[in-house]
Structure 1
Amino acid sequence: MYEIQKSNPDSSIILKTVDGTSKGQQRFQRLCMYFHGVKQGFLVGCRPLIGVDGTFLKGIVGGVQLIAVGLDANNSIFPVAYATVEGENKESWTWFFKLLKEDLKIERDYEWTIMSDKHKGLIQACGQVFPNAAHRFCVKYLHNNFSISGFKGEALRRALWAAAKATAPAEFVSKMEDMAAIDLDAAKWFDDKPPSQWSKTHFSTYLKCDVLLNNICEYFNSKILDVREKLIIEMIKLLRLYMMQRMKQNRDIA
């Protein structure tokens, strides 16, 4: 932590501990990292969109890696921050979101969009920390839940994506009517899922971006498969290296 602060001034490295088994002993619980150059690059050159996700660590101590990833002007992924936490729950997500909001100095959260899956703890934490931000859900993840609920088949899959890709209110209504014609219950499944969370036609106009998938996080996770098997300190070193390499690639493209 001290070496990173020395070599990357104004970076944020937040360590949280809890009481250990022995009196006066502290035990590692969470670590969150925001590099100064990354924060500045994100605020200057990226869209007000943050994709977030959590992925399990495979080391002997377990835990979860939380990530926040943005989109730059070339629609390339822009890793923003990551945190190693004890588990994916409301408390850990709230902690991560609060640090993210503070470090990025987000005041008008209604101008921002958060994209994620529908993990219950994540949704609650996002609503608490970013109450006015738009919240999109990955349509691929939505379709998986749709299928699990019993609505399978190519016709329904196409109907869902047609509604998600609709760009005008009348078109959205028409596509949902097409879905109802195939299976009325399938269309009713979306009654408690606001179209502003998954259809282009209802997206916030602040973002100027109609992305429907959280691929930015999935791509990041695919690049750290081996890293997730390491011990905490080694894993953090390798994540830092990947972050720096990704930033260099973004500069070369620009």
Structure 2
Amino acid sequence: MALMAVRGTVEESYGKLSSYLFMLAKINPGTITDIQTDEHGHFRCMFMSLGFSIRGFRYCHSVLCVDANFLKHKIGCQLLVAIALDANEQLYLVAFGVVDSENNNSWTYFMQQLRVAIGVVLDLVFVFDRHPSIVNDLSSVFPEAHHAACTYHIKMNIMAKFKTDNCHDEFDMASRAYTVSQFHHHFDKIKTKDPQIAAYLEQI
């Protein structure tokens, strides 16, 4: 009750989003915002990339990690993010969106807005968790970009699928190898230790 008295309700906050995004874009030059509602004026999705984040991304590594996470309040929804690494190897938020759920439509919307925000970036690489919606939308919205699978998600999938962390060290070494010969040296160890895991990784 105290929090509601200070902050208002979640519903009231959503009602102020349009005004907030308008002022945000007005005060921060170059900011890209968008909000979508249904025919009744109810919130559907939104996107935001601050002007200074867009300008600063030019000086970051041209690698974007994209992922989704649940928003833990009664309305639900999911948070979509695009994060880079700056020159100090620290996380750099480029853009985020709020959508009803993680599906083809929501990722298409997010990627299209991200394209407006960052434009064409030379040798751009996207890292993600192999969600099929992300794969499809990246191919259509960012056809020139390179795709990479997140090694953390792959490792967690190995644990879930094979119920073992038997090859964790070898997987880490192989995924971080800087030369082809180093990669094969560590990957051959995975083949010896667990051929099923090796076959699963080769499919990826």
The question of a shared fold, defined as TM-score above 0.5 by the shorter chain, is answered with: yes
* Paired residues of 1:32 and 1:81 also in contact (CA < 8 A): yes
Match of 1:131 in 2: 143
Match of 1:58 in 2: 72
Task: For 1:177 and 1:51, locate their aligned partners in 2 and report how far apart those are by CA, in whole Å.
Answer: 28
Superposition deviation, residue 123 in structure 1: 2.1
Task: For 2:164 and 2:130, locate their aligned partners in 1 and report how far apart those are by CA, in whole Å.
Answer: 20
Superposition deviation, residue 151 in structure 1: 5.6
Superposition deviation, residue 10 in structure 1: 3.0
What secondary structure, in the 3-state scheme, does the structure 2 residue paired with 1:190 have?
helix
Task: For 2:30 and 2:200, locate their aligned partners in 1 and report how far apart those are by CA, in whole Å.
Answer: 47
What code does the residue aligned with 1:136 have? A
Task: For 2:165 and 2:118, locate their aligned partners in 1 and report how far apart those are by CA, in whole Å.
Answer: 43
Match of 1:2 in 2: 22
What code does the residue aligned with 1:28 have? F
Task: For 1:180 and 1:37, locate their aligned partners in 2 and report how far apart those are by CA, in whole Å.
Answer: 47
What secondary structure, in the 3-state scheme, does the structure 1 residue paired with 2:162 have?
coil
Q: Residue 117 in 1 paired to residue 129 in 2?
A: yes
* Paired residues of 2:48 and 2:97 also in contact (CA < 8 A): yes
Change beyond 3 A, Cα 1:29–1:170: same
Task: For 1:83 and 1:100, locate their aligned partners in 2 and report how far apart those are by CA, in whole Å.
Answer: 10
What code does the residue aligned with 1:91 have? N
Superposition deviation, residue 54 in structure 1: 0.8
Match of 2:178 in 1: 167
Q: Residue 41 in 1 paired to residue 41 in 2?
A: no
More RCO (CA 8 Å, sep 6+): 1
Task: For 2:74 and 2:196, locate their aligned partners in 1 and report how far apart those are by CA, in whole Å.
Answer: 45
- Per-residue deviation, residues 104-160 of structure 1 (Å, max 9, x unmatched): 11165xx10111212222222222222232222221211111122216134x11121
- After the TM superposition, which parts of structure 1 deviate over 4 Å for at least 4 consecutive aligned residues? none
Change beyond 3 A, Cα 1:131–1:6: closer
Match of 2:7 in 1: none
What secondary structure, in the 3-state scheme, does the structure 2 residue paired with 1:185 have?
helix
Task: For 1:28 and 1:180, locate their aligned partners in 2 and report how far apart those are by CA, in whole Å.
Answer: 50
Query: Normalising by the residue count of structure 2, what TM-score does the alignment of the two structures yield?
Result: 0.83
What code does the residue aligned with 1:2 have? F
Task: For 1:153 and 1:74, locate their aligned partners in 2 and report how far apart those are by CA, in whole Å.
Answer: 31
Superposition deviation, residue 4 in structure 1: 1.5
* Paired residues of 2:62 and 2:121 also in contact (CA < 8 A): no
Task: For 2:93 and 2:121, locate their aligned partners in 1 and report how far apart those are by CA, in whole Å.
Answer: 21
Task: For 2:70 and 2:32, locate their aligned partners in 1 and report how far apart those are by CA, in whole Å.
Answer: 23
What secondary structure, in the 3-state scheme, does the structure 1 residue paired with 2:201 have?
coil
- Per-residue deviation, residues 178-207 of structure 1 (Å, max 9, x unmatched): 1111122221112221xxxxxxxxxxxxxx
Match of 1:152 in 2: 164
Task: For 2:163 and 2:185, locate their aligned partners in 1 and report how far apart those are by CA, in whole Å.
Answer: 19
The number of equivalent residue pairs is 184
Task: For 1:106 and 1:75, locate their aligned partners in 2 and report how far apart those are by CA, in whole Å.
Answer: 23
Residue in structure 2 matching 1:85, options 99, 104, 124: 99
* Paired residues of 1:151 and 1:186 also in contact (CA < 8 A): no
